[in-house]
A and B are shown apart, each in its own frame.
Chain A
Amino acid sequence: MNALRAAVAAAAVGVALVLQVSVFPHLAWDGIVPDLCLLVVVGAALTRGPQFAMVLGFGAGVVLDLAPPADHVAGRWALALVLVGYVAGRVRQDVRPSAGTVLATVAASSFVGTSVFALSGLLLGDPALGVPQLLEVIVLALVWDLLLTPLVLPAVMTLFRRLEPDRSLA
């Protein structure tokens, strides 16, 4: 079951990455696209808890850091998405999250994720961009993520809910 879960999670991340890199630039807003990988990690955190989400976030981040157009220092998206998994995983697990909770979690996660990425860049001297430009990107990315939430998160959460281990054990 664990192997299947890992395979499905990896496939979800892969699809999200390809959509983010190859499809959404056609709709992009000054080059800013929705963080689909971040949404997958949030979906995992809301259904499977922080442990799984942090590990998935690390995996998704490493792939984002290494897959083709990326040219920043590897490990930056990994760090951002591990923290996103941690933050989103703090939401209560044993009740189904309401639409409002999901939106709030996505907003917080998007803010944390893009900010951690930007801050790590400032510390490493990687992007050399001004703070106002960083803030503009962070806010636009947050709006994009919220717009995409109703389309992406229900599917991702249903997918991870179906994969609950006890269902197949029972």
Chain B
Amino acid sequence: MRRPDRPRTPRERRWRGSGQGPQPSPALLVALVLACLTLMTLDQAGDSSPLEPARRAAGEVFGPVEVAASTAIRPFTGVSDWFRSRDAMQDDLIALQAENSRLKSDLATQGYDRNRLEEYDGLTAAARDLGYDLVPARVVGLGPSQSFSSTVTIDAGSDAGIHPDLTVINNDGLVGRVLRVTRTTATVLLIVDSDSVVGGRVGESMEVGFLHGRGVLGQDGRLDLELVDQTAVPAKHDSVVTWGSEAGGPYVSGVPVGRVTSVYSSLRETSTRAVIDPYVDFGALDLVGVVVPSGTPSDRAVIESDGDLR
């Protein structure tokens, strides 16, 4: 409208004549915006939301496609590593990294393990309960940071014996918990999400508290620990492990989460807040394990508590 019209071809004239001119119809805009607001209102209910079946249906459709896409590009994401060293060296490196992670997590839970042994000495039944099975899975989809929520899709679902509220870990420590499942995929809420709350325990002092995610994924992906006992001050580099809840859900106990990097105490709020640097690198998640009760039927090999494959 600002520039003079050039002569129109018949095609363009017909196009404008068909009612699809550049002037958008306000009625359509209002209708669509109202539809969006209706969706938001319906979905506010959380877990009992009427949109949950629709989410599941979308998951059944897009889940397998995400798995396929991510399998298709996996060779390419590994290309740079493949060029860097020969296969044998690569295998050594993977083995060493795994051993290093295991030693680090042993070290991180040492204080916790010692205290736990002292406190629960004689309760041998508890030791049996700590043996869990792991269902291995790969991360096939990562929610964009533009959505301001930290969730990932993994390629194991109800067929693999997974159901909501199971703990997800990897080599380095706690990753998150399962929110919802489809037949072949599951959505995992990462512990750095701002909605995530994990019961944590400082390994060295056995003080309990709550870990809140900050909702940031990258380098500043941190957790805030609020201790229940406000007189307890965790030391820098203390490690924090999960406390666990009854029947192991949603988080099993004794999984390393991160270590204390700094401690703030506010007189006005009369609380101590520690900042935790998680052991897991959430920007580079790939292989994870879902903690399932022993003997869960699954469509894939399950890693048993003694390290065997079943």
Contact = CB atoms under 8 A, between A and B. Distances in A.
B59 A67 contact: yes
Given A21-B142, A67-B62, A69-B141, A54 B148 contact: no
A32 B195 CA distance: 19
Contacts of B152: 69
Given A127-B148, A129-B194, A137-B145, A23 B69 contact: yes
Interface in A23-65: 23, 25-26, 28-33, 35, 48-52, 54-55, 57-58, 61-65
Contact of A66 (B32, B58, B145, B219): B58
B266 interface: no
A25 B153 CA distance: 12
A133 B33 CA distance: 27
B69 A89 contact: no
A63 B62 CA distance: 10
A20 B164 CA distance: 25
Nearest to B218: A30
Contact of B70 (A17, A22, A29, A62): A22
B20 A86 contact: no
Interface string A109-141: 000001001101100101111000110010001
A76 B146 CA distance: 12
Contact size class for A? 35 or more
Given A75-B37, A89-B22, A129 B219 contact: no
Interface string B56-74: 0111011101100110010
A118 to B, nearest CB: 7
Q: Dominant SS at the A interface?
A: helix
Given A22-B66, A68-B63, A51 B147 contact: no
Contact of B22 (A49, A121, A167): A49
Interface stretch (B8-16, B89-97, B116-124, B238-246): B8-16
B254 to A, nearest CB: 27
Contact of A25 (B6, B142, B194): B142
A20 B147 CA distance: 12
A79 interface: yes
Contact of B6 (A35, A86, A95): A95
A124 to B, nearest CB: 7
Contacts of A117: 146-148
B18 A165 contact: yes
Contact size class for B? 35 or more
Given A54-B32, A74-B40, A20 B144 contact: yes
B58 to A, nearest CB: 4
A17 B153 CA distance: 13
Contacts of B28: 51, 54-55
B5 interface: yes
A7 interface: no
A23 B73 contact: yes
A166 B11 CA distance: 7
Nearest to B38: A75
Given A31-B142, A54-B28, A69-B142, 16 more contacts: A21-B66, A21-B142, A50-B24, A51-B25, A52-B20, A68-B187, A69-B143, A73-B43, A74-B40, A76-B36, A76-B40, A83-B33, A86-B29, A89-B24, A127-B215, A141-B145
Interface of B: 1-3, 5-6, 8, 11-12, 14-16, 18, 20-25, 28-29, 32-33, 35-40, 42-44, 49, 51, 54-55, 57-59, 61-63, 65-66, 69-70, 73, 77, 140-153, 179, 182, 185, 187, 189, 193-195, 215-219, 283
11 contacts: A22-B66, A22-B73, A69-B142, A70-B149, A75-B35, A75-B38, A82-B33, A90-B22, A93-B21, A93-B22, A124-B40
Interface of A: 14, 17-23, 25-26, 28-33, 35, 48-52, 54-55, 57-58, 61-79, 82-83, 86, 89-95, 114, 117-118, 120-121, 124, 126-129, 133-134, 137, 141, 164-167, 170
